[in-house]
Amino acid sequence: MTPPPNPTRRTVLNSAGLAAVTLCLGGCAAAGSESATSGGSGSSGPVTVNAADIPVGSGKIVAPYVVTQPTAGTYEAFSYICTHQGLPVGEVTDAAIVCLHHGSTYSLSDGSVIHGPATKALTAATVTLSGDTLTIS
């Protein structure tokens, strides 16, 4: 019986790349299946978050939204998808919503572009405050 030939370097690298893409896509699918009420990115309904969890002068990513409180008692929400290449933004600072992929920054108060490469504002969402709970849709 003849042993199988050794794989070429190209075959090994192609297989590793395919495995990495498969792993990434599987992780994205698992993250998308979280419950909307737990802050997941489920698209079956609105997302809720405790208003006290949103810092004044900053915000929080509650996938699939970014929720901000630019001034005390004023809440805003936007899609968390960067308008540059459709990737999720990565953080909210005390100055802006930041996409860590290519450096676009957006306003906490209206989602407009502060610094590109993005040229379009984040898509606004509706925020409703009921008691101490924010509902974003």
How do residues 53-80 score in pLDDT, each as one tens digit? 999 999 999 999 999 999 999 999 999 9
The CA-based angle 65-129-35, given to 5 degrees, is 45
Domain spans in the chain, listed from the N-terminal domain onward: 7-34, 47-136
Q: What is the pLDDT averaged over residues 113-127?
A: 96
Q: What is the pLDDT of residue 42?
A: 42
The phi-psi region of residue 82 (left if phi > 0; otherwise alpha if psi is between -120 and 50; otherwise beta) is beta
Residue 119 near residue 85 (C-beta atoms within 8 A)? no
| pLDDT bucket at 7, cuts 50 / 70 / 90 | low
47-136 domain in CATH 2.102.10.10?
yes
Confidence of residue 2 (pLDDT cuts 50, 70, 90): low
- What mean pLDDT value characterizes the chain? 80
pTM: 0.68
Tell me, letter by letter, the H, E, C secondary structure of the chain: CCCCCCCCHHHHHHHHHHHHHHHHHHHHHHHHCCCHHHCCCCCCCCEEEEHHHCCECEEEEECCEEEEEEECCEEEEEECECCCCCCECCEECCCCEECCCCCCEECCCCCCEEECCCCCCCCEECEEEECCEEEEC
